[in-house]
Amino acid sequence: MSTFAPPVRRGDFLYSSLLYADIGNGNQHPRASVAELTNLLRPQQVPTAKKRKNVLSAASEPPAQDFSPAKDQVGHFYTAQLVHYGLPQTKDKNTAKVRLLDALNQGKLEVPAWITKLEGELRKEWEAENRKLKKGAKVVGGIRGSGGGSGGRRSSDIPTSSSGAANNITVNVSLNSPFMIDPQTLAQATPTSTSSRKPTAKKRKIEHSPEPTRSTTPKKARPSQPQPISSSKLTKEELSARAKSSPAPRVKKEPSQPSSSRATPKSSQKIKTEPRIKHESGHVDTPGFAPRSSKKIKAEPPDDDQPGPILLSGTYDVTCPAVEERFPHLDCSDLQLSLLKDDDRGVWWASFSWAAWDCLIQMNPGPSYTPLGEPCSLGWRLKDNETGELRFGRNCTGDMTFFNNQSFHGLLYKVPFVGTVEFWGVRVFGIGEVGKGGDDFQWEWDAFVKEAYGR
For 166-192, give the DSSP string: III--TTGGGTSTT---HHHHHHTSTT
Residues 318 and 424 sit within 8 Å (Cβ to Cβ): yes
Q: pLDDT at position 176, please?
A: 44
Q: What is the mean pLDDT of residues 1-27?
A: 83
pTM: 0.35
Burial 126-146 (b: 16+ CB within 10 A, else e): bebbbebbebbeebbeebeeb
Q: What is the mean pLDDT of residues 37-53?
A: 63
Q: What is the mean pLDDT of residues 4-18?
A: 86
Residues 324 and 314 sit within 8 Å (Cβ to Cβ): no
Q: pLDDT at position 411, please?
A: 94
Lowest mean pLDDT among 121-125, 278-282, 421-425: 278-282
pLDDT at 224 over 80: no
Give the start-to-end residue ranges of the domains of the chain. Answer: 152-217+226-250, 314-453
pLDDT at 229 over 80: no
Q: What is the mean pLDDT of residues 226-252?
A: 51
Higher-confidence residue of 243 and 421: namely 421
- What value, to the nearest 5°, has the Cα angle with vertex 341 and ends 338 and 343? 155
Give the separation between CA 449 and CA 452, rounded to whole angstroms. Answer: 5
CATH architecture of 314-453: Beta Barrel (2.40)
Higher-confidence residue of 227 and 424: namely 424
Lowest mean pLDDT among 46-55, 69-78, 81-90, 375-384: 46-55
Average pLDDT, the chain: 69
pLDDT at 43 over 70: yes
